[in-house]
């Protein structure tokens, strides 16, 4: 579980996977995790946007614009 959506789902109580009738381990897919989060009323997590900072150098000081 390296996807952020899967990690969030696990923190909210969604299992990482299950064992089927033959005993095979089945991982929870990203689509299933998103559907379960939607059923729990949680929106899809959005990727964080990086704030861009622009610096201009003026004589004698640095200031942000």
What is the structure's pLDDT at 44? 64
Query: Which pLDDT score, from 0 to 100, does residue 20 have?
Result: 92
Give the separation between CA 14 and CA 8, rounded to whole angstroms.
Answer: 9
pLDDT tens digit sequence for 4-50: 888 888 888 888 888 999 999 999 898 988 888 888 887 666 666 66
- pTM for the whole thing? 0.54
Radius of gyration of the chain (CA): 21
């Amino acid at each position: 579980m390296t996807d952020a959506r899967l990690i969030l789902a696990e923190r909210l109580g969604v299992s990482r996977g299950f064992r089927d009738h033959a005993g095979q381990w089945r991982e929870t897919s990203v689509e299933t995790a998103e559907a379960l989060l939607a059923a729990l009323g949680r929106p899809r997590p959005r990727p964080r946007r990086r704030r861009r900072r622009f610096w201009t150098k003026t004589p004698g000081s640095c200031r942000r614009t």
